[in-house]
Amino acid sequence: MKRVILLMAVGSLVAAACTSGADPSSTSVPETLTTTSATVPETTTTLPPTTTTTVAETTTTLPPTTTTTVAPTTTTTTVPPTVELNDEGIQAGDVWVYFGSDPADAIAAVSNVLGAPTIDSGWVEESICLASTRTVRWNDLWMLFTTGDTGFWTGGVPHFFTFYYSGPNPEIFTTKGVGLSSTVADLEAAYGGPMFELTESPFVPGEGSWSYDLQDWTGLWGYTSGQAPTDTVIAINGGQGCGE
């Protein structure tokens, strides 16, 4: 660009000389030419600032996990009270009814388990016992009371002195698990030893008669269908009969 401007200036000087009629060759050209410089401004392109878009982070909060604890199921099994026969008397639920017990207390204890008696004879005079006796029954279980003299009481005191258990409904057992459906083998396993005895019945030929810890007024005794191990118990009695 500067070179073009310089040439144009020289051209102008030559033209001036020619116009004046002077000999161009005799024209003194100044040694130094004044050069006019034109500065062209630089063009600066300013780009718009870059816009940075910041995307906010999305945070998802999950609800807390709920843990459900199921309480264990507790099953309570209630065992109904029972009546058990023993060589010392009868256990009715949690109550022991010993031989020699008061009749009212004994009857109430057994009734609390078995219900009301099915038969109650009341007090009657008994020639064998030479005193008044009373029989109270709960189906196949008999409890006998007397005012006669026994090893428990003398002088006309009413008291429980024996029980009988025999019949078609084997619902009651001894404290060692022997019932009317038990075999002779079961009986011997429960009560076998020096206090146990099994012989032939003095009343029915072929049947058996058994006893355990038989004392003057206590003990267990009864009958079996025979003496073989597979024969069964047909009667369980306790105490001693009046007049024996």
pLDDT value for 128: 76
Question: Does residue 109 fall inside a structural domain?
Answer: yes
Dihedral sign from CA coordinates of 202, 204, 205, 207: negative
Cα 176-177-179 angle, rounded to 5 deg: 125
Q: What is the CATH number of the domain that holds 119?
A: 2.60.460
The C-alpha angle with vertex 152 and arms to 149 and 157, in degrees rounded to 5, equals 55
CA dist 90 and 149 (Å) reads 21
- Its pTM stands at 0.69
In a domain? residue 152: yes
Residue 97: HSE in the Cβ half-sphere, 13 Å Cα cutoff? 30
- The pLDDT assigned to 126 comes to 83
Do 191 and 128 form a contact (C-beta atoms < 8 A)?
Answer: no
42 in a domain, yes or no? Answer: no
* Amino acid 129: pLDDT: 77
Domain of residue 182, residue span: 83-239
Q: Residue 177 domain-assigned?
A: yes
For residue 69, tell me if it sits in a domain: no
The answer to whether residue 153 is domain-embedded is: yes
Does residue 217 lie within any of the structural domains? Answer: yes
Count of domains observed in the chain? 1
Q: Are 218 and 86 in contact (CB under 8 A)?
A: no
Q: Mark the ranges of the chain whose per-residue pLDDT is less than 50.
A: 1-38, 40, 55
Domain for residue 97, yes or no? Answer: yes
- Placement of tokens 């019945």 in the chain: 201
pLDDT at 77: 66
As a whole-number percent, the residues of the chain with pLDDT over 90 amount to 59
- Please state the φ and ψ torsions of residue 225, each to the nearest 5 degrees: -70, -15
Predicted local confidence at residue 80, as pLDDT: 86
